[in-house]
Amino acid sequence: MADHRFQSKKFLVHENSKVQLSKISTDSGDELRDKSHGAEALEADIESLRTAQERLYASNHRALLVILQGMDTSGKDGIIRHVLRGVSPLGCRVNSFRAPNTEELEHHFLWRPMRFLPPKGTIALFNRSYYEEVLVVRVHPKFLEPQNLLPYKSLNDLWERRFREIRSFEKTLVDSGTSVLKFYLHISRKEQRKRLLERLEDPRKYWKFNAGDLAERKLWPQYVEAFEEALSKTSTAEAPWYIIPADDKWYARAAVADIIASHLESLDLEFPEVTRETLSQFEQYAQALRDEND
C-alpha cells in the first residue's frame, strides 16, 4: 500500500459549488519537495496501482472509469504514459475522443462512450470524453449543425439539458459498480505558450504541433468559461471532478496516480475465496506435479 501524500479533498470540486479557475493555482503544492521527490511518490503509487488492479481484475466485481480533460498541452498524454505504465494491458483500455464520425453524429452524444465503458474487473481511461459536447461544441456551436437535433429553446437550455443527462449517465454507472473519477488538468496560459513553443523549437516534438492549437488558444476565455460551468454543473458525490495543478507535469502525474490508487484501495477488493474442497483439490494437483518425472 502506498503512503498517500495527497489529500484528494484539496483538489475536489464539491457538488453545487461554483468553480472560478482564475482563483485556483496552477502551481504544484507542498506535498512534494521537488521533481525527484515526485518521481519517488509516483513509483510508490504505480506499485500500489499494480496491486490494486490485480485485485480489481481477479474479483471481477467493480470497474473504474477515469476521465482526463484540460486545455491543449495540459499533459493528458503524459498522464496516460506515466501513471498507467505499471498497469496490465489485459485490464486497462485507453480511448481518445476526437471529432465524432458520421455514425456517431446519428446518435445521442452519450451513445458514443457507451461502447468504450470498462467491463467489470477493468479500468477505462478516456483521453478527452463525452464532455467535449459541452466544451468544444459550446465554444464552437456550429458543430451542432450536423447533429440534427430536435428544436431547443436556446443554447443555454441545451447545455443545461446535457449537464442533466451527464449527471444521470454517471450516476447510473456508479450505481452499477463502475467508479467514475474525473480530472481537469489545470495549466496557465503562460505555461501553454511555453509548451507550444517547445513543439515548434524541438525537432523531436514537431510531430506534436498542430496549427489549430494556436487558433484555439485565442479562444482561451471562452474555454475557461465552458470548463468552469461544466466542472460546476457535473461534479457530484458519485462522480467527482478533481482540479489538478498541472504547470509542473511531475506534480500532476503524482497527484493523479495517488488519487486513483487511493480510490482503488478504498474499495477493499479481495481475491476470490477458495473453498476447502477446492483447496484440497489444489493440493492433489500440486502433488501430482511434484511426482512427475521429467
Confidence check: pLDDT of 19 > 80: yes
The whole-angstrom separation of Cα 259 and Cα 4 is: 8
Contact indicator for 234, 166 with CB cutoff of 8 Å? yes
User: In percent, how much of the chain has pLDDT > 90?
Assistant: 88
Q: What is the mean pLDDT of residues 238-265?
A: 96
What was the pLDDT predicted at 4? 75
The mean predicted confidence, pLDDT, of the chain is: 94
CA 211 from chain centre, in angstroms, equals 26
User: C-alpha angle 92/81/24, rounded to 5°?
Assistant: 105
Neighbours of 48 (CB within 10 A): 22
The 3-state DSSP composition of the chain as helix, strand, coil percent (nearest 5) reads 55, 10, 35
What was the pLDDT predicted at 54? 94
Confidence check: pLDDT of 3 > 70: no
The whole-angstrom separation of Cα 121 and Cα 92 is: 9
DSSP letter for 131, please. Answer: G
Confidence check: pLDDT of 231 > 90: yes
Q: Which domains does the chain have, with CATH numbers?
A: 8-290 (3.40.50.300)
- 24 band by pLDDT with thresholds 50, 70 and 90: very high
pTM for the structure as a whole: 0.93
Confidence check: pLDDT of 276 > 90: no
The whole-angstrom separation of Cα 224 and Cα 220 is: 6
